[in-house]
Structure 1
Amino acid sequence: MSIDKYNSEGYYDPTAYEAMSIIEKEERALRAFRPIIYICSPFSGDVEGNVKAAQGYSRYAVDNGYIPVAPHLLFPQFLNDDNPAERQLGLFFGNALMSKCSEVWVFG
């Protein structure tokens, strides 16, 4: 998109031009490539505390230009971690997602 330095009446408008240039740059940065990374951190034990920590790790990844994948924040919402068959299924799903990631970040 080309941004005009002149307003609709033909007058030079550097303030509007600068503002629009910044907005365009920010929008371009949002569309830029972001690597997908796998967040590996504890879940069992202090589940509530570990979930909050994993959310923080995921936020850290986003703030640094990455797309986080944290299966232990997703799968326990519909799989029972206390059921051995469902736990194995969750681990299988997590490994499948990990194979799609460019990096694995281990925390905790």
Structure 2
Amino acid sequence: MDRYNAEGYPDPTAAEALENIMREEKAKNYKPCVFICSPFAGDIEKNLNKAREYLKFAVKQGTIPFAPHLLYPQVLDDGDPEQRKLGLYFGMVWLRKCDELWVFGRYISKGMQAEINKASKHRIPIRYFSENCEEVQKL
């Protein structure tokens, strides 16, 4: 944003007004980033299908969702402890960049609990949903 007028003199009032207009426009189109927290291990095929449903639900709610357990198992071996640790770390980095954590289902795995703890520690809002995508109180 140029803070100078046509003659080269500082013009903070006009620059601030334009910045405010741009900020308001951005707010109209703002979509929060949400981190999808749901089980992965166990019945992996079922859990991945459910995670896809949760991702679609979050999109329909007007968010930008991120589900690390749909991404990283494609390139990392969850059966290898070092690669699993790396995938969990990657997820935690993304969690810090999200606006909210959405937890799905009644069962809370160790990985999910770690994500919930991290969100709590960093005061990231946490919302809980049933497996049917109905918002519920903390499980």
Specify if TM > 0.5. yes
> The residue matched to 2:54 in structure 1 has which SS?
helix
Equivalent residue number for residue 25 of structure 1: none
Q: Find 1:80's aligned residue among 77, 80, 105.
A: 77
- Give CA deviations for 1:10-69 in whole Å, capped at 9, x if unaligned: xxxxxxxxxxxxxxxxxxxxx821000000000011100000000000000000100100
RMSD: 1.0
Match of 1:39 in 2: 36
Q: Provide TM-score, normalisation by structure 2.
A: 0.55
Corresponding residue for residue 104 of structure 1: 101
Name the count of aligned residue pairs.
Answer: 78
TM-score, normalised on structure 1?
A: 0.71
Distance in 1 separating the partners of 2:29 and 2:80: 41
Structure with the bigger RCO (C-alpha within 8 Å, sep 6+) is 1
Which 4+ residue blocks in structure 1 deviate beyond 3 angstroms? none
Unmatched tracts of structure 2, length 5 or more: 1-27, 106-139
Give the letter aligned to residue 101 of structure 2.
V
SS at match of 2:87: helix
In structure 1, the residue matched to 2:86 is 89
Aligned identity (percent) is 51
User: Which stretches in structure 1 are left out of the alignment for 5+ residues?
Assistant: 1-30
